[in-house]
Each structure stands twice: as C-alpha cells, then as structure tokens.
Structure 1
Amino acid sequence: MRDTPELIPIPSDDEALWQALLRRDPLPGRFYGVTTQGVVCRFGCPARPPLRRHARYFSSVAEAGEAGFRPCLRCDPAGERAAIHAAAVRAACAAIEAAAEAGEPVPSLAALAGKAGYARHHFLRLFREVAGVTPHAFSAALRTRRLGDALASGGRVVDAVAEAGIGSESRVYEDGARMLGMTPGVARRGGAGEVIRVAFGNGPLGLVMVGMTGRGVCAIELGDDQAALRASLAARFPQARIEPADEAVRAAVARVLDWMEEPRGALDLPLDLRGTAFQRRVWEALRAIPSGTTTDYAALAGELGLPRGARAVARACADNGVALAVPCHRVVGRDGSLRGYRWGLPRKAALLARERGGAA
C-alpha cells in the first residue's frame, strides 16, 4: 500500500542505531563500520550484521575513512561503483543511439560489454539494473520512438520504417498498435481527420483546458493563457481539427473543476490516451495511486518490474498530457521532494496539499 513518503527519523543513541542496523533500516546520512573487517556500510546493507561490539557509527563515509575504514563492496556506501556502472551504461546507450542515427547496425551485446570492460553476462545484468531494460529492449524502444517521430512528421510509412531502422514494413503494420499505442496510419496522420473539441474553465489552480475526441478526453492541460494551451494541443495533434466545445466537453470541464475544488477519489472520465505501450503502462499505474498519497519514481518502476527504470518512468510521467485524470503529480522523489511537473511545481504542491486536506 502506498503512503506519503516520510524520512525515517535518524536515531541518536547507540541502542536505536543498533536496532536499526539489525532491521536493515535505510538511514540517510548514517553509516556503520565493522571493526573486524575494516569496512564501512550504509544502513540497509544486505551483508550479515556484525556483533554489536564490532559496530561503530559514522555520519559520513569520509569520517569513516579517516578512522581507517574502507567502503563495503556490497552496499557501495560512497556510490563510487554505482557511478562507474551508470557511466558505462550511459556510454552504451549513446553508442546505440549513434548507430541508429547513422543508419548503422546496433552494436551487439558482446561489443558493448567489451567496450565497457565487462563480461557479456555481467554487463547485461548491469545494463538492466541501471536502464531498467536490456540493450535489445532499449534499441527497440529507440526504433519505436524514431518511427513515431517520422510518422508524426507526415512521411510515408515505408520511409518512416527505413528511417527508424526497422527491417520490415509488414512488422510495423502487424505490431504497430503494440509498438506505438496506435496504428501506423493514425500516427502518420497526426490526428488528421479527427476533431478535437476544447473547452476552458478557471479553477483554484488557474486556467484549465480539456480536449476531447469521439473516444474520450485526450488532453487536460493547466496554464495561464488560452493561446498557449491551444498551441500545446496543436503540437500533439498537428493535423487534427480543433473546434469549440460541445456539451460533452463542457460537462468534462465542469467535472474537472469540481474535482479540483474537492479532490477525493479518482477523476473518472472517459479517456483517449495516446502513447507507446510502455507509456500507457506507466499511465495506468499512475491512475491506481489513491488520492492523498504519493509514491516515488523508483517504487513505481519496481511495481512495473523495472527496478532501475526510474528515469524511464519519469520520462513517461513528463509525456503525460492528461493532468489530474492521469495523476502524475502523485509521484515524488525518493526523499519526498517534489520533482519536475509539466504544469509547474507550484501546481504540483497545491494539488498534493488539496488532496491531503491542506490549504492550496
């Protein structure tokens, strides 16, 4: 069950620290040394706890180092090993992207591992832990993004397939809905032939715009200027015809404003979500977060089976164009701090305060 993240109170006495060590509580800013091994660990280290008489406590890894302790290889308290791994994976991702941009074959796992200086199976594990996906899945996602961009520009499907580096046009037609979240034709048309009706309203967080197709709400945007909000919608659906509201859209705006006044439960509206299969997985997970509670990007990634996919989850949150109904404002940093929000951090803070019953 999710709850609002709270920092675990840091004990100040040895007894409380010892009990936290035994429970493997993660205590930010506290570390313990093991005198018999000469190592310093972060609280929560998976290694077997030492005997109590062999434990010493420190406020930093540097302090422990001055006392003669070296970092534990299992929990990496200084984060040095994690930084090296992350840099190796970033370099591999850059190599994959460079090959795709140049129209060259994607480097094999063996080539990526060799360049990074790791064994093939070890690098596969590192890549999956850091990026949240395998190199093959990362490459496939990159091709899908390039395909979507090419189709959105209005190019022919056959040209978009070639530009994205996908070997078979027939595969795109067979798997297009799974890859893109829509058929290639719909993606290529950029909303051509569709009518999006829009309406505006003023609520406690400022101006609200709702856009609706025949299938449901495709946009809920927050802002300060009608023209800017219309421009944002037009950028997402460049070929669609945007028209004034009908009764259904005006009713949707009224429901949004009512919900903003008293944000309890889900904002239940028929939705027309446009995104990749992964984005829609994230958006559906966001909709399951109860009002008044939060989760963090890493925890949400873990629920989706991507223990190191926090960045990918954050990107999917940033691409959400349906505020409130897809409540990306309920995702915060691991320490409870507010992170990026498409419609501004002040609105994110105000939304969370309202959901928790505080002043906006």
Structure 2
Amino acid sequence: MNTTDSYPFLKITQAIDHLSTHFRDQPSLADLASQVNLSEFHFQRLFTEWAGVSPKKFSQYLTLDYAKQQLRNGAPLADAAYEAGLSGTGRLHDLFVRIEGVTPGQFKQAGAGLSLVYGVFNSPFGAYVLGAITGKLAVIHFLDDAENPPAILTAAWPGITLRHEPAAVQFLADQVFPATGTTRSAEPVPVLLRGSAFQLKVWEALLKIPEGRLASYDQIANAIGQPAASRAVGTAIGSNPVGYLIPCHRVIKKTGLFGGYRWGSSRKQAMLGWEAARVGQRGGVMSDE
C-alpha cells in the first residue's frame, strides 16, 4: 500500500490532537495550520475535504457539552431484546451485519486447517489490516507505523494459517469503507467473531448505536440486561476485534469524556467527529451554519 494514502489522516489527527486539548480556547485557523506545518489555505481545504465541514464546525463535535447532549438523547439500545449468545441476522444499524460467533474452545476443535486471508487497505482513519475466514470478516485492526499485520492476526486467531491475498478480501473492504462516489452494497457483511457469550452480547449491543450517536458503558450494560457489569462491558468493548464496523468508538464515559480507544484516542475522536459531520449534513445532528 502506498504510504502517501494515509497522509491526509496523519495531518488531520495532528490537528485533532490540538483541537481536543485547546477547543475551549477556540484555536484559529492559522494556529491549527501551523500545528501541522501547512498553509492556512492548504489545511482548510484538506480538512474540509476529509471531514465535510470546517475545522471550526468539527471542533463543536469534540466538546464536552456536545457529548453530554448525545448521551442525554440516548441511543435506541433498550428497544432490542438480546439473547445469550447470538441474535441472528438483521439490519442492526446503518450497515448490514450478519454475525456468527464461536467460543475459543469451539474454534480450537473446528479450526484446524482453516486459513485467514488478509490484506492492508486505506480508510478515512488511516491504514488497516482486514482478515477473513471462509469469506467472513474476522479482523479489522487499524495500524500504526511499527505494527506488523501477521503478528496482529496470529494473536487474534492463534494457530491459523495466514494467506496474504488482498484481492480476495477487497469485496469486504469495499463494504466497510466504500470508495468515494459509490454506495455501500445492500448485501449483509458476514462477520465471524471469536469470543465468550458475554462478549458477543456486548459486541451485538454496539451495533445498535446509530452513526452520529453516542452511548455510555452503563447504557450498554443496561441494554444487555446486566446493569452492574459496566466494568466488564468496558473490557469486552476494548477487546472488539473488528474496528469501526462494530462501533466501539461510539461508547464514551457517562461524564461525556471520550475516554480511551484500542486504536488511539485521536482516531476515536476523528471517527466521532467525522460521523457527526456526516449526520449533521443530513440534518440528523447539527446543521453546518
């Protein structure tokens, strides 16, 4: 993959780091541009092309007041009836996702001879490795410069055979992050998850959070019928193997603080702001006035 593909996101995350720390100071365009060593004109154009809104408008989506408002509005989590284990097929949010789950023990018994086919692709949030087993998406892991995709994949699925064949999994990458100007396929995205029954319930609950909306750890715990398990919910969310598609980035602290993220807090803020801007343009969150 061409490393220049991630150039816009690298610059955007530098700006987001500064915005998230200094949003109360309302940093100027000149200040933000200087943080990423770009001219004001170039930075404004790059940021707006990526986010769809100006840096000033984007900063509104990173404020504590905005996050609290989203939590008060509440994601429609409680209207779903969850069963232990799997909930089957359904349109769970803006993406079609069909989940199959296996416990570690089940995989150990039936996983001999399986291959994980993978490739490295680019997204609005930087490079990521995508892995699939028998045509089902099993891993989306966003990459930092020093990370090694084969090591990541074997840690997620120990003992499995790896095959680097990007062309064979391109169709899944296109379903998760469609190319600019194209629409997402209506075909379900088949996902194979390896986890406990509790983890599967938590990951399924995440799929009920709509794009541009937020939920707290407590809300997720209530949604799965275990209100006292918010700490365990946080652990399960942190071990989500399929970044972005299963939207663990949409879960924040009940105080309105964004909190940490497996793939970096700046990336989490980028995802939340990017989604809020997209929904805002459709009139669902905040107008771009």
TM-score range, shorter chain: 0.5 to 0.7
1:184 to 105, 114, 119: 105
Match of residue 201 from structure 1: 121
Partner amino acid, structure 2, of 1:296? S
Where do residues 51-70 of structure 1 align in structure 2 (5 Å cutoff)?
none
Write out aligned runs for 1:39-188 (5 A). 181-182=102-103, 184=105, 186-187=107-108
The answer for the alignment partner of 2:68 in structure 1 is 6
Judging changes above 3 Å, is the alpha-carbon distance between structure 1 residues 266 and 211 closer, same or farther for their aligned structure 2 residues?
same
Deviations 1:283-335 (A, max 9, x none): 01101111110100011101111122110110010111101111100100001
Relative to the length of structure 1, the TM-score reads 0.46
Match of 1:353 in 2: 273
- Given the superposition, is the C-alpha separation of residues 285 and 242 from structure 1 closer, same or farther in structure 2, using an over 3 Å criterion? same
> Is 1:317 equivalent to 2:237 in the alignment?
yes
One-letter amino acid of the structure 2 residue matched with residue 187 of structure 1: K
Distance (whole Å) between structure 2 residues aligned to residue 267 and residue 348 of structure 1: 27
* 3-state DSSP of counterpart to 1:284: helix
Q: 1:344 to 1:264 in 2, by over 3 A?
A: farther
Tell me if 1:298 matches 2:218.
yes
Q: 1:351 to 1:259 in 2, by over 3 A?
A: farther
TM-score (norm 2): 0.56
- The 3 A distance-change label for structure 1 pair 261 and 319 is farther
Q: Is the 8 A contact 1:265 1:291 kept in 2?
A: no
Within-5 A mapping of 1:245-260: 245=165, 247-258=167-178
* Percent of residue pairs identical: 32
1:7-29 CA-to-partner distances (Å, cap 9, x unmatched) read: 69xxxxxxxxxxxxxxxx9xxxx
CA gap 1:264/1:346 in 2 versus in 1, 3 angstroms: farther
| 1:222-301 matched pairs, under 5 angstroms | 222-225=142-145, 227-245=147-165, 247-258=167-178, 269-301=189-221
* 1:333 alignment counterpart: 253
Describe the superposition over 1:54-77 as per-residue Cα deviations: whole angstroms up to 9, x where unpaired. Answer: xxxxxxxxxxxxxxxxxxxxxxxx
- The separation in 1 between residues aligned to 2:135 and 2:160, in whole angstroms, is 14
Q: CA–CA distance in 2 between the matches of 1:319 and 1:5? A: 23
For residues 266 and 304 of structure 1, what CA distance do their matches in structure 2 show?
27
Letter of the aligned partner of 2:103 in structure 1? Answer: M
Q: Secondary structure of the residue that 2:129 maps to in structure 1?
A: strand
Which residue identity lines up with residue 203 of structure 1 in the other structure? S
Aligned length: 185
Q: Is 1:222–1:323's contact at 8 Å kept on the other side of the alignment?
A: yes
User: Stretches of 4+ moved more than 6 A in 1?
Assistant: 259-267
Unaligned stretches of 5+ residues in structure 1: 9-24, 26-179
In structure 2, stretches of 5+ residues that fail to align are 1-65, 73-100, 281-289
The one of the two structures with greater contact order (alpha-carbon pairs below 8 A, sep at least 6) is: 2
SS in 2 for 1:273: strand
Tell which deviates more after alignment, 238-247 or 342-351.
238-247
How far 1:231 moved relative to its partner? 1.1
Offset, 1:204: 2.2
RMSD of aligned residue pairs (Cα, Å): 3.3
